[in-house]
Amino acid sequence: MSQVKYTKDHEYIVVEDGIGTVGITDNAQHKLGDITFVEMPVTGRELKKGESAGVVESVKAASDVYTPVSGAVLEINVALEDKPELVNEDAEGAGWFFKIKIADASELGDLMDRDAYLAYAAEQD
């Protein structure tokens, strides 16, 4: 069974069998507007929790995408190279950015569940 966690920087991670699928939340993509480019980490790169793993650019702004946990990048979503608008269409589904092998599952304890994230996001508006 998978679990979904969220960061205060508006990333999500879907965790299943020690692998995390990371992207930006639907809330974040709405604020950014039309996504025009996504820079993702290189496969194999070791990331530390909170480190910038890439960049998402829109017609309004460019924002860093931070990794919610430490680990090694296993895969990137190559579909975003040709179709970055997938992030707008399905941010928390087909618009994922990268998959990471989670080095320390205890880091997930610092993240929010969906209800806590939605309350946090509402406070930010």
User: CB-based contacts of 123: which residues, under 8 Å, 6+ apart?
Assistant: none
Per residue in 10-34, pLDDT (tens digit) is: 999 999 999 999 999 999 999 999 9
Closest-CA residue to 21 (of 8, 39, 40): 40
Closest-CA residue to 11 (of 104, 79, 98, 106): 98
CATH number of 3-104: 2.40.50.100
Give 14's DSSP letter: E
Residue 1 has pLDDT above 90, yes or no: no
Q: What is the pLDDT of residue 95?
A: 98
Domain ranges of the chain: 3-104
Please, which pLDDT band fits residue 58 given cuts at 50, 70 and 90?
Answer: very high
The DSSP secondary structure of 19-85, one letter per residue, reads EEEEEE-HHHHHHH-SEEEEE-PPTT-EE-TT-EEEEEEESS-EEEEE-SS-EEEEEE-THHHH-TT
The 3-state DSSP class for residue 86 equals helix
